[in-house]
Amino acid sequence: MDKIAFVFSGQGDQYAGMGKEFFEKYPAAASVYSLCDRIRPGTSALCFEGPEEALKETKNTQPCLFATELAAAAVLAEKIGMPDAVAGFSLGEVSAAAFSGVFDWETGFRLVCRRGELMQREAEKFDTSMAAVLKLSAETVISLCGRYPDLYPVNFNCPGQISVSGLTTQMSSFFEDVKAAGGRALPLKVKGAFHSPFMKAAADDFLNDLKQAAILPGKIPLYSDLTAEIYTEDIPGLLSAQISSPVQWEKLIGNMIAAGVGTFVEIGPGRTLTNMIRKICNSVRALTAAEFLAETENRETVSAET
């Protein structure tokens, strides 16, 4: 049987109302939101009610997504069982690490709150932003970024989709270069040049926080955004360095498939990772947590009726 992997999403898919259905239907989800609200009051209200502008602030986005992701993962673990492997895109790697047992969920939530604060702090120092470049090869995007002193290719998402971080003042000219090369560039819903050198101070400070946390080996294989390989050692170093380093998502998913993963379940409020994985390999299954849960519950209903 194909192995199952849970993949936890990053910033950009957040929206007011996310997680509310799971919260209202499943006690396992409600308990996660309760935990997060005890540590950071108002987290669940921000997830369920917004406002949208507040949700876009990195210091709010990251803890809210963490809560929503762990709530969904808790329900799937209870109803279906544990996956064979986990990974997470950017902030989703902290969610994946907590779910895998690298640290307890309370510690994970405190860490992700700190991560969001640090990254927003650095984002506010400069006028920076991110964009997704479509229809161009990684080599072409790297070459185009090389024309600018403060633009960096940072997220290698899937074939024909690379994210770029850097100074906003250089983006408009870069967009024209992308268009001239036959590609398309779209601004992303984040405020900051994540996974670039602009985040180096945040990565350094987050490393200090991680070194003070209780880190465990983990119970499920956890893949690193930085190396695209399974974590074996130096969890604090890898988990902090990815803040200011490119996310090797396409390579990571390829390595998971090579290790026998045939079903990917996206843990998060959107379907960005689901769409990416389908572009990376159309022979594996990729679906959202809600779809996977509904599929399982439908099978159980049919089985009970027969």
- Every domain of the chain and the residues it spans: 3-124+196-305, 128-187
Has residue 183 got a pLDDT over 80?
A: yes
8 Å CB contact between 265 and 289? yes
Look up 90 and say whether it is catalytic. yes
**DSSP per residue, 153-169:** EEEEEETTEEEEEEEGG
> How many Cβ atoms sit within 10 Å of the Cβ of residue 23?
23
pLDDT band of 301, cuts 50, 70, 90: low
The CATH topology of domain 3-124+196-305 is Malonyl-Coenzyme A Acyl Carrier Protein; domain 2 (3.40.366)
Q: Which are the contacts of 158, defined by CB distance < 8 A and separation ≥ 6? A: 249, 250, 253, 276, 277, 279, 280
Compute the distance between CA of residue 12 and CA of residue 127 in angstroms, rounded to an integer: 18
Compute the distance between CA of residue 140 and CA of residue 194 in angstroms, rounded to an integer: 21
Has residue 305 got a pLDDT over 90?
A: no
Give the tens place of pLDDT for each residue, 79-138. 999 999 999 999 999 999 999 999 999 999 999 999 999 999 999 999 999 999 999 999
pTM of the model: 0.94
Q: Determine the pLDDT at residue 298.
A: 67
Has residue 232 got a pLDDT over 90?
A: no
Q: Determine the pLDDT at residue 217.
A: 86
Catalytic: which of 44, 90, 196, 244?
90
Q: What percent of the chain has pLDDT over 70?
A: 97
Catalytic: which of 195, 196, 224, 240?
195
Q: What is the mean pLDDT of residues 187-196?
A: 90
Q: Determine the pLDDT at residue 295.
A: 83
Q: Where are the alpha helices (DSSP H) in the chain?
A: 20-25, 27-39, 43-49, 52-55, 58-79, 92-100, 105-123, 138-145, 171-180, 200-212, 235-241, 249-258, 272-280, 289-305
List the Cα angle 21/18/107 in 5-degree steps: 100
- For 12, 89, 216, the CA distances from 234, given in Å and listed in that order, are 28, 19, 11
Q: Determine the pLDDT at residue 299.
A: 63
The superfamily CATH assigns to domain 128-187 is: Malonyl-CoA ACP transacylase, ACP-binding (3.30.70.250)
Task: Look over the chain and give the mean of its residue pLDDT values, rounded to a whole number.
Answer: 94
Look up 9 and say whether it is catalytic. no
Q: Determine the pLDDT at residue 12.
A: 87
- For 113, 240, 261, the CA distances from 118, given in Å and listed in that order, are 9, 11, 34
Compute the distance between CA of residue 37 and CA of residue 26 in angstroms, rounded to an integer: 17
pLDDT band of 233, cuts 50, 70, 90: confident
pLDDT band of 33, cuts 50, 70, 90: very high
Compute the distance between CA of residue 47 and CA of residue 61 in angstroms, rounded to an integer: 9
Residue 184 DSSP class? E
Q: What is the mean pLDDT of residues 191-196?
A: 93
